[in-house]
Chains A and B, each alone.
Chain A
Amino acid sequence: MNVLEATGDAAIRGLGYIGGLTIQFWSGLCASPRVLPIIGKHGRWRAAVRQMAVIGVDALPMVGIMSVCAGFILAMQTGAELRRFGALQYVMDVIAVGFTRELGPLLTAFVVGGRSGSAFSAEIGTMVVTSEIDALRTMALDPIEFVLAPKYLATMITVPCLTIMSNAFGILAGAGFMYISTKITPAMYLRYIFNSMELRDVVTGMLKSLVFAAIIVNVGCLEGFRTRGGPDAVGRSATSAVVWSTFLVILADVFFTAIFYLLHQV
């Protein structure tokens, strides 16, 4: 295969992948109302709540620890530089803006992508290789509605919630640093944080977290549905889900940050 053929082949496969993601995203969106309580189908909401517990509650300790660590690191690194200029108080601005706009959504996406994205892929991949997905189809049940939609809804709800928790943990870690280094009380720190934080920062962070959630659940499920072969293929799908979701999350982050930056300039 020459370079031109290899490039063409990669481009076709890439487009096929994006096409698959788009179709699945739309199908998942259409099937989501059937998971909602009261108006949805019997038992679907319960399945979504179970997923929320796994995706959200079980991930909270990991998100919390990572956010506290990242908050400390950010505070110490910026503090070390800003102290030289006598501008240590700006550490609080950096933490407030850095976490709400960027670090909170990104750290949460990495944790959920690593934990749940790979789990979605492994679960659905196993269902494919053991003919469970075929069984659903022969029972006239839609795998998108039955398997994907509860995960879809659960991820779209829990990832923004986890992002809020991540923001809170990161900001509180900054409070710890500021108290140790400058004896600023937590109450004063929080007052300063709320003053320096704008609603726009929180909204853009939440929008990003929604997009990241959509990427994680779609990539995880698509990798699962595309699994072909035996148990080794399930492992490959899980790895692929983490790699692709991390890559696409970073790509989406660059894209949205650029858009928000340009909008802010206007």
Chain B
Amino acid sequence: MADPMISIDSLTVQYGDHRVLDGVSLDVQPGEVMALLGGSGSGKTTMLRHIIGLERPTSGTVRIRGVDINRCSPKELKDIRCTMGVAFQECALFNSMSIEENVSLPLRELTTLADPVIEIMTYMKLVAVGLGQAAKQMPQELSGGMKKRAAVARATALDPEILVFDEPSAGLDPIVAAGLDEVILALKRAFHMTILVVTHELASAFRVADRLAMLYKGSLIAVDSKDAFQKSTHLRIRQFLDRVPDPIAESTAVRDRFLELAGMAGGRK
């Protein structure tokens, strides 16, 4: 097996007394699409922020193409970031720039290409996500789905080896979300990119991913193929797949709070 493109080893993240990630280990192989699943507050976004080097972990390592991004030199980190594209949940398009300027920004800043070449490449990236006609528009003039696609176009501007998506389908209707899934698959097919999709949208995850990983309360409880995942008998995975709600009213914390409010403090510690 080839060396993993992304290798996370014993990643632990703790804020004060709250442990968000607890010794998470995960490898993503070159050309693989990995979907990182998990409920709200499970630590998905925290894990993503550590993978793209926006935060430093309490302990553990994140290696991209074998380089530890928390212990490498600024030059190495810059080189790694040039091979990564990130499409944020909020799209993070620069509102003062047109869509075309947003997409061409990494090309203008990080390459020495001539302006006509940059214009052609930008147009190609926009056409690839179906936004050829929206090049001159400002981000605030676009719909949610178009913004997401513009963010994907910008993330792919430098033809990265690794593409990371944070909740690509969040807030989109099923048709637009399906369209975005097709864009992800097309990118994988055309450029053989390694893609990490952080999501809680099951349909999207099963459509695009080769393997799935599931986070629960800061720990990875499964990393498996789609088939194995669907057949899993793990309680939490089944609950997630079968959309079974947590029994909130029966939780210990809620019961203790009710007892406290009723003046019967000292229920359970």
Contact = CB atoms under 8 A, between A and B. Distances in A.
A, B from the same assembly: yes
Contact of A43 (B95, B108, B110): B108
B170 to A, nearest CB: 13
Contact of B84 (A132, A134, A138): A138
B110 A140 contact: yes
A22 interface: no
For the residues of B in contact with A, the DSSP-based class is mixed
B49 to A, nearest CB: 8
B109 A141 contact: yes
A77 interface: no
A130 B151 CA distance: 13
Most A Cβ at <10 Å: residue of B54, B77, B92, B93: B92
B144 interface: no
Interface residues of A, number: 15
A131 interface: yes
B54 A132 contact: no
Interface string B49-90: 100111000000000000000000000011001101010111
B106 interface: yes
Given A132-B94, A134-B54, A139 B109 contact: yes
B176 interface: no
Contacts, number: 48
Contact of A132 (B52, B77, B92, B109): B92
B86 A135 contact: yes
B78 A137 contact: no
Contacts of A137: 53-54, 81
A42 interface: yes
Contact of B86 (A41, A130, A138): A138
Nearest to A44: B109
B187 to A, nearest CB: 17
Nearest to B96: A123
A226 B220 CA distance: 32
A131 B92 contact: yes
A130 B78 CA distance: 22
Contact of A139 (B49, B89, B95, B105): B105
Contacts of B95: 130, 132
A137 B84 CA distance: 11
Contact of A131 (B77, B81, B90, B105): B90
Interface of B: 49, 52-54, 77-78, 81-82, 84, 86, 88-90, 92-95, 105-106, 108-110
Interface of A: 41-43, 127, 130-132, 134-135, 137-141, 146
